[in-house]
Structure 1
Amino acid sequence: MILFENSILKLDYNPATDILDVKYPDLHDFLLPEIKHSIDIMIDIIKNYDVKKLLLDSTSTLISVSDEESREVAVYLASGLTRTRVQKVARIQSPSVTVEKTAQGNLKHLQESTALPFELQNFASMTEALDWLKE
């Protein structure tokens, strides 16, 4: 069931599994304010539906911002998620080496600088990610 959709994010929720499937947005500098606003909406929806499992799909994400700006978005998302009851976040990796290098740097930064109250893991495929979320 689609809970929200705009040009930045699409939130597809399955109440039977309590998994919210989110296509990670493309990161372009002119979109950063809109991305943050969309993240705020997503966090409100996660709270309202009391979502416990989040699937972030980065398979088609494009990045045309600096590493610092990308990290800022990742930190913004993670800090928003810390204010919810999310327990597990599965991220499906991008086939792009450049995107994945940036994402890995962001994940390392988050794990070193913040005590995340949820489990966070990367997966190469949708099947692996869903299996882990359903455990």
Structure 2
Amino acid sequence: MILLQNSILRLEYNPATDILQVRYPDLQRYHLSEIRHSLQIMVETIRNYDVRKLMLDARTTSIEIEEEENRQLTLELAGMLSKTRLTKVARVQPSDPEKESRAQRNIEAARKAGILNYEVGTFTTPEEALIWLKA
């Protein structure tokens, strides 16, 4: 069932598997405050529905912000997610190796900051991600 759909995010939840599927938003500087607000809504939805598993699909995400802004956004999101009862987050990686490399550096920064209290897995397809989340 679709819990939220706006110009930035679409939250699709399957109560049978307790998996929330989200297409990670395009990161554009002029929409950054709206993106942050939508990510806060996503976290509130995770909290309200007591979601335990999240799939973030970043295959088509465009990144038009500086690397430091991107890292800060990742750390903010990781911190907000750590205050929920999530146990697993599956990322479907972008096909661009540079974008994926940047994402992995950001995840490592969140790990070093000690704010990841859930498992994070990275996959090339949504099907692989869903198999891992259901296991």
- The two structures have a TM-score, normalised by structure 2, of 0.96
Letter in 2 for 1:90: A
CA contact (8 A) 1:61 1:99 kept: no
Query: What 5-or-longer segments of structure 1 have no aligned partner?
Result: none
CA contact (8 A) 2:93 2:124 kept: yes
- Deviates further, 112-121 or 60-69: 112-121
CA contact (8 A) 2:82 2:115 kept: no
* 1:130 alignment partner, SS class: helix
1:79 alignment counterpart: 79
Q: Matches of 2:16 and 2:73 in 1, distance apart?
A: 30
Superposed CA deviations along residues 40-73 of structure 1, whole A, max 9, x for unmatched, are 1111111110000000000110001111011111
RMSD: 0.9
Alignment of 1:107-126 (within 5 A): 107-126=107-126
Matched-pair identity in %? 48
Q: Matches of 2:5 and 2:12 in 1, distance apart?
A: 9
Following TM superposition, the consecutive aligned residue runs of length 4 or more in structure 1 with deviations greater than 2 angstroms are none
2:37 alignment counterpart: 37
1:9 alignment counterpart: 9
Deviation of 1:98 after TM superposition, in Å, equals: 2.5
Distance 1:123-1:98 versus aligned 2 partners, 3 A rule: same
2:105 alignment counterpart: 105
1:27 alignment counterpart: 27
Letter in 2 for 1:41: I
Distance 1:78-1:115 versus aligned 2 partners, 3 A rule: closer
- The two structures have a TM-score, normalised by structure 1, of 0.96
CA contact (8 A) 1:91 1:123 kept: yes
Q: Matches of 2:88 and 2:105 in 1, distance apart?
A: 20
- Deviates further, 106-115 or 69-78: 106-115
Letter in 2 for 1:27: L
Superposed CA deviations along residues 71-92 of structure 1, whole A, max 9, x for unmatched, are 1111111111011100000000
Q: Matches of 1:8 and 1:60 in 2, distance apart?
A: 13
- Deviates further, 96-105 or 70-79: 96-105
Query: What 5-or-longer segments of structure 2 have no aligned partner?
Result: none
